[in-house]
């Protein structure tokens, strides 16, 4: 078994399902591992058993370090029964199974091992910094807390190890999650005329929201999307409900302003709907022609048959918050995980992709230490 597979299995063995999160034990183990490998590690707590860490390997040449980021929390297992151990003990053919294998513990193992293997080049060059977070799956809670607590080391470029099947991705959509609440007046279910039914008010609002457009399409990210993903209202069948809430997931592009979308939606839904922002994460997009981005494309091209073209992904990442806090360096999303397997039952990462990623991250590190961005 290779070292990168063993490290991935070690990380998968920690139950970091979010909610509740519980990344502390995994982060503590990883902090010890990184310290033994020569990194300087700074741990950060953002709640009971919630944790982030920053690990640095300084370079002697000066200049900006290369940054890597990844999150250790995972989504729940879901209601369907798993055929394989969700905590990383099962390997079948070219597949390493486990919750978080694709999203995204395999990538974290790969870029850590790449740093360890190229430690001499890093220490002779400009260094690396790892931003490892918790709480990403519920809206980048760990990254938000980390940014609020301290000034972060500034990298010259950032790699986000989210699942892309080792295809370099230059951005992702933004996420605006809103809770829309209607408030009525309760009454006995046999005398509904004495109340105001909040479910009916919500139904009227939902009829309007089906025809609401978040804004114009983007040349690369295309049309923004809107989905009502959750609704809750009423306490019992024989009462008029006085509260109903539904949650709206809007995915946006850099040409759209979240404050303006929220204001237009509030106007559309009217005064009977009260809107609260749950998550507000901007879109991320690096310039495809930026020199370092082009170098990444050149290094990735041998892994893919067709010529590489600029792509984005629809999911959000910690880069939404980290990039502004880090001075907006060029950023690429690049990881060995399979995008279609994130959050799926029997999630797995291909061992071949994992080996490719470790080697690819190593090539990127050596290139950066040679001539930077």
Whose structure tokens read 């260094």? 127
Residues with Cβ within 8 Å of 205's Cβ and at least 6 positions away in sequence, in order, are 180, 182, 246, 269, 270, 272, 273
pLDDT for res 373: 63
Helices (H), 193-328: 198-209, 258-269, 291-300, 319-325
Share of the chain above pLDDT 90, in %: 98
Segment 13-36, tens digit of pLDDT: 999 999 999 999 999 999 999 999
Q: What's the pLDDT at 371?
A: 85
The whole-number average pLDDT for the span 47-71 is 96
pLDDT of residue 1: 79
DSSP state of 69: E
Please report which helix (H) or strand (E) contains residue 370, including its range: helix 351-371
Helix (H, G, I), strand (E, B) or coil at 343: coil
* Alpha carbons 142 and 50: distance in angstroms, whole number: 8
- Residue by residue, DSSP assigns 19-61 as TT---HHHHHHHHHHHHHTT-EEEEEEEETTEEEEEEEEE-SS
Q: What angle do CA 27, 28, 34 make, to 5 degrees?
A: 85
| Phi, psi (degrees; rounded to nearest 5) at 41 | -120, 135
pLDDT digits (tens, 9 = 90+) for 309-350: 999 998 999 999 999 999 999 999 999 999 999 999 999 999
Nearest CA to 75 out of 42, 106, 98 is that of 98
For 108-124, write each residue's pLDDT tens digit: 999 999 999 999 999 99
Q: Which of 276, 265, 268, 250 is nearest to 181 (CA)?
A: 276
8-state DSSP, 152? P
Judged on CB neighbours under 10 Å (0-12, 13-18, 19+), 79 is exposed
Average predicted confidence (pLDDT) for the chain = 97
The class of domain 174-281 in CATH terms is alpha beta
Which two structure tokens, joined as six digits, stand for 51? 């944790």
Query: For residue 218, what is the DSSP state?
Result: B
Beta bridge pairs of residue 279: 177
Domain ranges of the chain: 3-172+283-371, 174-281
Q: Could you tell me which of 161, 187, 193, 134 has the C-alpha nearest to residue 67?
A: 161
Coil vs helix vs strand at 92: strand
* pLDDT digit string, tens, across residues 198-255: 999 999 999 999 999 999 999 999 999 999 999 999 999 999 999 999 999 999 999 9
- State pTM to two decimals: 0.95
Cis peptide before 133 (omega within 30 of 0): no
User: What residues does 149 pair with on adjacent strands?
Assistant: none
Length in residues, the chain? 373
Structural contact between residues 142 and 52, judged by C-beta atoms closer than 8 angstroms: yes
> Under CATH, which number does the domain 3-172+283-371 receive?
3.40.630.10
Cis peptide before 104 (omega within 30 of 0): yes
- 3-class state of residue 95 by DSSP: strand
Sequence-ordered alpha helix ranges (H) in 197-337 = 198-209, 258-269, 291-300, 319-325
pLDDT in tens, 302-316: 999 999 999 999 899
What is d(CA 135, CA 369) in angstroms, rounded to the nearest whole number? Answer: 31
Give me Rg for the CA atoms of the chain: 23
pLDDT(357) > 70:
yes
Q: What is the DSSP letter of 86?
A: T
Please write the tens of the pLDDT for every residue from 265-290. 999 999 999 999 999 999 999 999 99
> Crossing angle for the helix pair 351-371 and 106-117, nearest 10 degrees?
40
Paired strand residues for 74: 17
Please give the full DSSP string across 356-368, using - where no structure is assigned.
HHHHHHHHHHHHH
């Amino acid at each position: 078994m290779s070292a990168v597979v063993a490290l991935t299995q070690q990380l998968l063995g920690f139950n970091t399902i979010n909610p509740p999160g519980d990344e502390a034990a995994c982060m503590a183990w990883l902090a010890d591992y990184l310290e033994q490998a020569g990194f300087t590690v700074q741990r950060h707590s953002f709640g009971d058993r919630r944790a982030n860490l920053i690990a640095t390997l300084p370079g002697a040449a000066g200049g900006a370090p290369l940054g890597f980021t990844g999150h250790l929390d995972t989504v729940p297992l879901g209601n369907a029964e798993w055929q394989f151990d969700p905590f990383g003990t099962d390997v079948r053919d070219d597949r390493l199974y486990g919750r978080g294998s694709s999203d995204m513990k395999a990538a974290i193992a790969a870029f850590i091992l790449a740093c360890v293997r190229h430690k001499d080049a890093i220490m002779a060059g400009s260094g690396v910094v790892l931003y490892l977070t918790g709480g990403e799956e519920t809206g980048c809670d760990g990254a938000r807390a980390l940014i609020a607590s301290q000034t972060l080391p500034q990298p010259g470029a950032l790699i986000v190890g989210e699942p892309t099947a080792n295809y370099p991705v230059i951005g992702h959509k933004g996420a605006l999650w809103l809770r829309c609440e209607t408030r009525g007046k309760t009454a006995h279910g046999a005398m509904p005329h004495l109340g105001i039914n909040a479910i009916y008010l919500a139904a009227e609002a939902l009829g309007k929201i089906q025809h609401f457009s978040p804004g114009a399409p983007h040349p690369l990210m295309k049309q923004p999307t809107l989905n009502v993903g959750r609704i809750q209202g009423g306490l019992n069948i024989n009462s008029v409900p006085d509260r109903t809430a539904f949650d709206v997931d809007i995915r946006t592009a850099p040409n759209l302003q979240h404050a303006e979308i929220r204001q237009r939606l509030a106007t559309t839904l009217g005064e009977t709907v009260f809107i609260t922002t749950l998550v507000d994460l901007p879109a991320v997009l690096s310039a495809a022609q930026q020199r370092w981005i082009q170098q990444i494309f050149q290094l990735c091209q041998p892994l893919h048959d067709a010529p590489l073209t600029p792509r984005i992904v629809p999911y959000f990442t910690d880069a939404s918050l980290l990039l502004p806090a880090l001075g907006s360096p060029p950023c690429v999303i690049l990881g060995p995980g399979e995008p279609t397997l994130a959050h799926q039952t029997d999630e797995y990462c291909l061992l071949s992709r994992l080996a490719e990623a470790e080697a690819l991250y190593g090539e990127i590190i050596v290139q950066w230490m040679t001539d930077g961005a």
